[in-house]
Amino acid sequence: MRTAAARIGALTGVALLAACATAPTPESASGQPVTPARPTPAASTSPPPPACSPEGIRITELGVSAAMGLRAMGLELVNCGNRPYLLRGYPAPGLRDANGDPIAVRIIPGARPITSGFDAPPTRLVLRPGERAGAALIWRNLVTDPTVVASNGAHLDVAPLAGRPAYPVELDGPIDLGNTGRLGVSAWKRYDGPSSTRPPAPSDLPSSTPTPDSRL
């Protein structure tokens, strides 16, 4: 019985192999061989780049540098339109909390009360299509009054200049103002690097020591 069962199992295995080896290639209605469909590649999970605004610009964050409570975030403005874009002055940022409600914050052009080194005056820039400019947001993560709730900006909106429309800027992390309630801005400056690269985020902060009135 065991010998017979073993023979039947062996013959069954051989028959299955033969069936697999002789299975005909699928054919279409016209008689031509059908090519197996290739698997569809997985969709990219990286977010699309921000759209060009109606006035022909795009503003993005370039990263944050930090040292002893002092923060500096790089901003980049690109002329993604089809005509020259005039720019002279400071970006005009606004913060919102995690619920989307505005956060009261004092914007300081030049950031002098916060730190030194970002006080170069604005110059007149005319950005041709594809050209770009850079600026920085500066703040200190300090808690100097325990009775005042610390602020964390979860959302950032930036207008290229005061009085112009503001656009949402995606953040890698919150803007942790502590309870200082102040945000400094540097003037826009032309970035002359190749169009295929982005200007670096501020890597060397000008000062890690608060200026005399930076805690007021």
Please count the other Cβ atoms lying within 10 Å of the Cβ belonging to residue 141.
17
Confidence grade of residue 185 (pLDDT, cut at 50, 70, 90): very high
Of 85-99, 106-120, 202-216, least confident by mean pLDDT is 202-216
89 pLDDT above the threshold of 60 = yes
Model confidence pLDDT, tens digit, residues 104-147: 999 999 988 888 888 889 999 999 999 999 999 999 988 877 77
Q: How much is the mean pLDDT over the chain?
A: 76
> Does CATH place domain 57-191 in 3.30.1460?
no
Pick from 142, 113, 76, 75: which is nearest to 207 by CA? 113
Q: Domain ranges for the chain, please list them.
A: 57-191
The letter for the amino acid at 185 is V
pTM equals: 0.69
Q: Where are the alpha helices (DSSP H) in the chain?
A: 2-22
Contact 130, 22 (CB under 8 A): no
Model confidence pLDDT, tens digit, residues 49-66: 678 999 999 999 998 887
pLDDT at 151: 83
Count the alpha carbons within 13 Å of 1 in the hemisphere toward its beta carbon.
0
